Structure 1
Amino acid sequence: MFRILFYLVVVFLLGLGFAWLAERPGDLVVTFAGYRYEVSLMVAAVAIVAIVAAVMILWWLIRSIWTSPYTVARYFRVRRRDRGYQALSTGMIAAGAGDGGLARRMSQQAAKLISSDQEPLIHLLDAQAALLDGDRQAARDKFTAMLDDPEMRLLGLRGLYLEAERLGEREAARHYAERAVENAPQLEWAVNAALEGKTGEGDWDGALKLLDSRRATGKDARESVASRRAVLLTAKAMDVLDADPQVARTTALEAHKLRPDFVPAAVTAARALFRQNELRKGSKVLETVWKKEPHPEIADAYIHARPGDSTQDRLARAKKLQSLKRNNVESALVVGRAALDAGEYRLARESCEAAARLGPRESVYLLMADIEEAETGDQGRVRQWLAKALRAPRDPAWVADGYVAERWAPVSPVTGKLDAFEWRMPMERLAQVVEGEEDFSPAPAIAAPKGEEADEPAKAEAEPVVIEAEPVEVEKPQKAKPADAAAEAVAKPEKPEPPAETAPVNGQKAASAKKDDPAKPPLPDDPGVDPDDKDSSTQSPFRLF
């Protein structure tokens, strides 16, 4: 664009010059070798311009002829290079698509057209083609050769690392990863692999040093580095908690500062503070995290902060936790357990019922069974709550790569990944939660719970529960009886009716009774009833749970 404008400006200036000369007539006289030459100014200017143009054209012709061999050679060289890059591009696409044969052919063609010294990607295409062909040794040789080239060194280390991981050679893989970190600390894969090696050995200081050497750019990268640093600091504090509480205190508090909602860091910092008789500061740390993330480990550390506290003191601390996070399952369970230890069964039962309303799960019903056994000793009710616990959703736990652990760990025992454990519900079993069936009153005569009448036999057989025999009345559910009345009903069962009338098949009679009289109240829960058990329903009017 600028060149065109320059030419236009030159032509414009020439036109102005010739116009200026045309308006001012004159003669140009030249005397040379006794001859006198006289021409007008316009003719002289045109002659001068023509001579200059002729000289430029003559120079261009001579230069073109002189450089023609080089121009021809460069044309063919560029054409050859373009064909080589086209083959290289096609080969890389074929390698990405998994076409080993085409990748190998394009690699050979590209190597003929382009020198591997000029284009290092030919080595990568060769290695990828060897991997697709199954020639692992040739691929490793190619990656090893890349280590001599500064531009390809990181690529070679990456390839050797992946091959070592595939063969299960963890030491070699860690060696290649550490070499890559030395050259490029920003590589995520290299940092992760080196960290896994050091954390697997328990070298927390070395892992922290390695993590600090990484140059994190961007907000997400800085947050990731801070999160992993908090995990490493927490792991170090847990290791030195018994040997050096002061170091554990400093390290855990730093981890808590990096991740204020990280439960293991807060619990470890609080325990280190408690060992140094800093009860108020440790309790403050736990209370701060409890407001954000209620957790059983926080509650346990908070309630047992002083080993010599009485059960009433622990109950008071549990109530304080509940005041910080109301309408929460964990808060209700904390008060329920502390009240059970203190012998306040009424408060324990109320807290447990509140927890069941907020989130019914296994620990709620197990705690209710403990309360029932401690308060009344009714084994029938205890078995009923235990049966509900078997069918309830599981409690959250520390889960990493499908492995469920009782305590948090910095690395996964399955893959060795750092910060893999999460506090969530395990997915081993899906529980069935039926709405509106949280009945906390005793029910001596228990019928099949709603929603189980159409269950498949295999499902009923998968969760058998055995408790003592009781008489069954399907059509008219009885009201709640005290424990003595329930025992009397078991000792003196009613006279069984004829099998034709009392032996329902697959819950058909119960279903028909419910359909005929919709105004009747729903039957109470019985998690141990198997309505699809034809043998128990046809052979005896009594039902073994």
Structure 2
Amino acid sequence: MVRLVIFALLVLVLAYGFSWLADRPGDLSLIWEGQIYQTKLIVAASAIIALIAAVMVAWWFIRLVWTSPHSVTRFFRARKRDRGYQALSTGLIAAGAGNALLARKMAARSRGLIRADQEPLINLLEAQAALIEGRYDEARSKFEAMANDPETRELGLRGLYLEAKRLGANEAARQYAEKAADNAPYLPWAAQATLEYRSQSGRWDDAIRLLEQQKAAKVVEKAEANRLHAVLLTARADDKLESNPAGARDDALQALKLSVDFVPAALIAAKALFREGGIRKAASILEQAWKAGPHPEIGRVYVRARSGDSTLDRLKRAERLEGMRPNNVESLLIVAHAALDAQEFSKAGAKAEAAARIEPREAAFLLLADIEEAETGDQGRVRHWLAQALKAPRDPAWVADGFVSDKWLPVSPVTGRLDAFEWKAPFGQLEGPVEEGSTTSIETALKTLPPLRETRPESVVNDHRIIELERAATIAEAVRPATPAPAPAKAAEPSTPRPVPAASEPKPFFGRLPDDPGVRDPKMEPEPKTRLRLF
């Protein structure tokens, strides 16, 4: 485009010059060797320009003839190179499609048309063809050659890393990834692999340094980098908690600045402050985390913040948490646990039932079983709640790649992935309210709750005899001939889940006797012939 503009300007200048001379006619005289040569000025200018053009054409022709051998050689060389690149392109496409035969053929043709030192992609094509054909040793040698070349070092290291992962040589894969990350921290695969390897080995300082390099190189987004940084700081704080509470506190607080709602960081910061005597600040951190999202571990740590508190003091702290997040399952369960410890069974039962109404899950029914055990000791009612817990959805837990952990971990023990653990229901159970009429709903459980059975106190010495007699009665009931079942008793109302013990013998529920009929009075009922005598 620039040359075209220059050529147009030259033509305009010449045209303007000729027009200017044509408007100003004149004669040009030249005396040479006694001869006078006279012509028009416009003719003389035209002749000079024509002479210059003729000289330029002659020079171009002479140069063309002089450089023709080199031009012909360059033409055939470019044609050969184009054919080589065409073969290389076809071979790479064939390798990507899994056509090993065509890839090997095109690799050989490319090597014959292009020098391998001028085009390193030939080594890549041969390595890919070797991988498809299963000749892994040859592929590794090609990748090693590329790793030694500064131009293809990153490509060779990635190939060696993938081969080491395929063979299960994790240490070799770690070395290749760290070498690539040191030379080029902007490579996502190398930085991610190195970050996971350093995290698995507990090298938190090196992992944080590498993450900062990635963040500076803009390999990861700012939000993701802050989250991973908070995870690494929390992991380092967890390691320091026993030996260096002050360092653990600083790391955990810094992690909370990067991720405000990160529960493990809040727990570690609070525990470190408890060790230093900063109960008020620790309680404030736990309260902020509880407001952001109630978590059972935060509730337990908050309620038991002071070791010298009585059970009533713990109940008050639990009720304070409930006031921050009312009508929440975790708040209700925390209060129910604290009320059970304080032996306020009515409040514990009411809170547990309210939690089960909001979200009927395993923890609520197990807590109801504990309350029943502590308040009445009726094993039939306890087993009823335990049966409901077996049918209810499981409680949320720390889950990563199908692995359920009792505490948060920075790295998945299955895949080694960083920040893999999530607080959710295990095994992919769907979260949400249970449909009306479900067998695990609290209303159904209350309606089918067996009535409270009158128990007689026994001496501790005869406890083993009671257990054996109950087992014998259960076996006898199993082998007894079938008898017409009595009409089912009227279910208890939901508002009165724990009825007052009746003086008469309780009526059976579900149209049959309870699972544990207890010890029968031989005076009231004759002993069947199939009854086993143990004593």
Query: What TM-score range do you get, normalising by the shorter chain?
Result: 0.7 to 0.9
Question: CA–CA distance in 2 between the matches of 1:79 and 1:392?
Answer: 75
Deviation at 1:134, TM superposition (A): 0.5
Q: What residue number does 2:128 align with?
A: 128
Question: After the TM superposition, which residues 131-146 of structure 1 pair with which residues of structure 2 at under 5 Å, given as runs?
Answer: 131-146=131-146
Preserved CA contact (<8 Å) 2:352 2:367:
yes
Deviations along 1:280-299, one digit per CA (max 9) or x if unpaired, are: 01011111111112111111
Question: CA–CA distance in 2 between the matches of 1:477 and 1:99?
Answer: 76
The 1:308/1:492 distance shift into structure 2, 3 A limit, reads: closer
Preserved CA contact (<8 Å) 1:186 1:216:
no
Deviation at 1:98, TM superposition (A): 1.8
Preserved CA contact (<8 Å) 2:240 2:248:
yes
Deviations along 1:396-444, one digit per CA (max 9) or x if unpaired, are: 1111111001111111111222211111111266799431543164536
Pair 1:443-2:444 in alignment? no
The 1:494/1:277 distance shift into structure 2, 3 A limit, reads: closer
Preserved CA contact (<8 Å) 1:445 1:473:
no
Deviations along 1:489-535, one digit per CA (max 9) or x if unpaired, are: 44799999xxxxxxxxxxxxxxxxxxxxxxxxxxxxx9xxxxxxxxx
Question: CA–CA distance in 1 between the matches of 2:67 and 2:138?
Answer: 45
Deviation at 1:192, TM superposition (A): 2.7
Q: What residue number does 2:338 align with?
A: 338
Deviation at 1:215, TM superposition (A): 4.7
Question: CA–CA distance in 2 between the matches of 1:295 and 1:445?
Answer: 33
Question: CA–CA distance in 1 between the matches of 2:357 and 2:508?
Answer: 34
Question: After the TM superposition, which residues 352-371 of structure 1 pair with which residues of structure 2 at under 5 Å, given as runs?
Answer: 352-371=352-371
Q: What residue number does 2:90 align with?
A: 90
Question: CA–CA distance in 1 between the matches of 2:192 and 2:45?
Answer: 79
Preserved CA contact (<8 Å) 2:486 2:512:
no
Q: What residue number does 1:50 align with?
A: 50
The 1:22/1:434 distance shift into structure 2, 3 A limit, reads: closer
Deviations along 1:258-314, one digit per CA (max 9) or x if unpaired, are: 222111111011001001110001011111111112111111111111111111111
Deviation at 1:163, TM superposition (A): 0.9
Pair 1:386-2:386 in alignment? yes
Deviations along 1:228-261, one digit per CA (max 9) or x if unpaired, are: 2222221222222122222222222222222221
Answer with 184-193 or 121-130: which moved more.
184-193
Q: What residue number does 2:61 align with?
A: 61
Q: What residue number does 1:434 align with?
A: 435
Deviation at 1:44, TM superposition (A): 1.2
Provide the TM-score with structure 2 as the length reference.
Answer: 0.83
Q: What residue number does 2:170 align with?
A: 170
Question: CA–CA distance in 2 between the matches of 1:30 and 1:472?
Answer: 148
Deviation at 1:362, TM superposition (A): 0.8
Deviations along 1:4-25, one digit per CA (max 9) or x if unpaired, are: 2322222222222222222222
Q: What residue number does 1:6 align with?
A: 6
Preserved CA contact (<8 Å) 1:185 1:215:
no
Pair 1:281-2:276 in alignment? no
Preserved CA contact (<8 Å) 2:485 2:512:
no
* Structure 2 residue ranges without an equivalent (≥5): 452-473, 479-483, 515-535
SS in structure 2 of the partner of residue 404 of structure 1: strand
Q: What residue number does 2:518 align with?
A: none
Deviations along 1:22-81, one digit per CA (max 9) or x if unpaired, are: 222211111112211111112212211211111111111111111111111111111111
Preserved CA contact (<8 Å) 1:130 1:136:
yes
Preserved CA contact (<8 Å) 1:336 1:347:
yes
Question: CA–CA distance in 2 between the matches of 1:253 and 1:139?
Answer: 49
Deviations along 1:151-199, one digit per CA (max 9) or x if unpaired, are: 1111111111111111111111111111112101222222232233333
The 1:131/1:77 distance shift into structure 2, 3 A limit, reads: same
Answer with 297-306 or 345-354: which moved more.
345-354
SS in structure 2 of the partner of residue 393 of structure 1: coil
The 1:441/1:483 distance shift into structure 2, 3 A limit, reads: farther
Q: What residue number does 1:191 align with?
A: 191
Preserved CA contact (<8 Å) 1:444 1:486:
no
Deviation at 1:364, TM superposition (A): 1.0
Question: CA–CA distance in 1 between the matches of 2:510 and 2:287?
Answer: 55
Q: What residue number does 1:235 align with?
A: 235
Letter in 2 for 1:319: E
Question: CA–CA distance in 2 between the matches of 1:340 and 1:370?
Answer: 8
SS in structure 2 of the partner of residue 427 of structure 1: helix
SS in structure 2 of the partner of residue 39 of structure 1: strand
Q: What residue number does 1:534 align with?
A: none
Pair 1:488-2:505 in alignment? yes
Letter in 1 for 2:179: R
Letter in 1 for 2:435: V
The 1:471/1:229 distance shift into structure 2, 3 A limit, reads: farther
Question: CA–CA distance in 2 between the matches of 1:148 and 1:369?
Answer: 68
Question: CA–CA distance in 2 between the matches of 1:493 and 1:126?
Answer: 75
SS in structure 2 of the partner of residue 488 of structure 1: coil
Question: CA–CA distance in 2 between the matches of 1:196 and 1:365?
Answer: 40
Preserved CA contact (<8 Å) 2:486 2:511:
no
Deviations along 1:313-372, one digit per CA (max 9) or x if unpaired, are: 111111111111222111111111111111112221221122122211111111111122
% identity of equivalent residues: 54
SS in structure 1 of the partner of residue 38 of structure 2: strand
Q: What residue number does 2:454 align with?
A: none
Q: What residue number does 1:543 align with?
A: none
Letter in 1 for 2:65: I
SS in structure 2 of the partner of residue 129 of structure 1: helix
The 1:472/1:212 distance shift into structure 2, 3 A limit, reads: farther
Deviation at 1:381, TM superposition (A): 2.4
Q: What residue number does 2:41 align with?
A: 41
Deviation at 1:486, TM superposition (A): 10
Preserved CA contact (<8 Å) 2:294 2:330:
yes
Pair 1:328-2:328 in alignment? yes
Question: CA–CA distance in 2 between the matches of 1:16 and 1:428?
Answer: 86
Q: What residue number does 1:419 align with?
A: 419
Preserved CA contact (<8 Å) 2:372 2:378:
yes
Question: CA–CA distance in 2 between the matches of 1:438 and 1:400?
Answer: 30
The 1:366/1:495 distance shift into structure 2, 3 A limit, reads: closer
Q: What residue number does 2:463 align with?
A: none
Question: CA–CA distance in 2 between the matches of 1:493 and 1:128?
Answer: 70
Deviation at 1:472, TM superposition (A): 6.5
Letter in 1 for 2:442: E
Question: CA–CA distance in 1 between the matches of 2:145 and 2:382?
Answer: 71
Pair 1:264-2:281 in alignment? no
Preserved CA contact (<8 Å) 2:188 2:219:
no
Preserved CA contact (<8 Å) 2:487 2:511:
no
The 1:320/1:49 distance shift into structure 2, 3 A limit, reads: same
